[in-house]
Amino acid sequence: MGVLVGKKAPLFKAAAVVNGTEIVSDFSLGQYIGKKYIVFFFYPMDFTFVCPTELFAFQEKLPEFDARNTVVIACSTDTEQSHWGWLNMPKNKGGIQGVTYPIVADTNKTIAANYDVLAGSWDVDEETDELTAEGTLVAYRGLFIIDKNGVVRHQLVNDLPIGRNVDEAIRTLDAIQFSDEYGDVCPANWSKGKEAMKATHESTADYLAKH
């Protein structure tokens, strides 16, 4: 699994459903660079069981992301038509109606491949020279926090059955923004409102001795 932290986030243009209803053919990640922080997360498939719990969890916390000048963007390898159908299905019937942040259609799987979260792999049959696939070519549950300069500051990749903690994503975002604003570093279990550390004025040993 590649590490993208500290590197420029791979940009893309792809079809997406925005505001839960509108299909946009050329949605661009680059439109937010220089303006917003970005929480960009992958989920495996539409019309499944764990995925809606995550999608609704992010939707529930959307005001908190908005307050942090941050956009939330989801992505899977399904088509935009599949996203649209799922978004228009009521929650009590297994749909995700009510989700308003953009959901990108990585139909050709290049976005997941560029972020190195694509499960399965391609291979070439030596006898027939035909392209084959091993495993299911869907995205792992990857999450990337991208700063306003377009640099990946945090990444987390869960296996397919394991959902993520949205509160932890917010805590990590807070730490990134706090460090960006004040230049301080954030120790273990830091959360917004707690004391941070001066990277150049206090050693880790000194900090731990006082705490």
Residues 41 and 95 in one domain: yes
Domain total for the chain?
2
Residues 141 and 97 in one domain: yes
Model pTM above 0.85:
yes
Q: State the catalytic residues.
A: 51
- Residue 119's contacts (CB-CB under 8 Å, 6 or more residues apart) are 44, 135, 136, 137, 138, 139, 140, 160
- Which residues span the domain enclosing 123? 13-164
Q: Are residues 128 and 38 in the same domain?
A: yes
Per the domain annotation, does 70 fall within a domain?
A: yes
Contacts of 23 (CB under 8 A, 6+ apart): 15, 16, 17, 80, 81, 84
Verify that 178 and 139 share a domain, yes or no.
Answer: no
Q: Domain ends where: 131, 147, 164? A: 164
Report the pLDDT value the prediction gives residue 203, as an integer from 0 to 100. Answer: 46
Per-residue model confidence as pLDDT tens digits over 120-173: 777 776 677 676 667 788 999 999 999 999 999 999 999 999 999 999 999 999
Q: Span 72-101, mean pLDDT?
A: 96
Model pLDDT for residues 170-205, shown as the tens digit of each residue: 999 999 998 888 877 766 776 666 566 666 544 444
Q: How far apart are CA 50 and CA 167, in angstroms?
A: 17
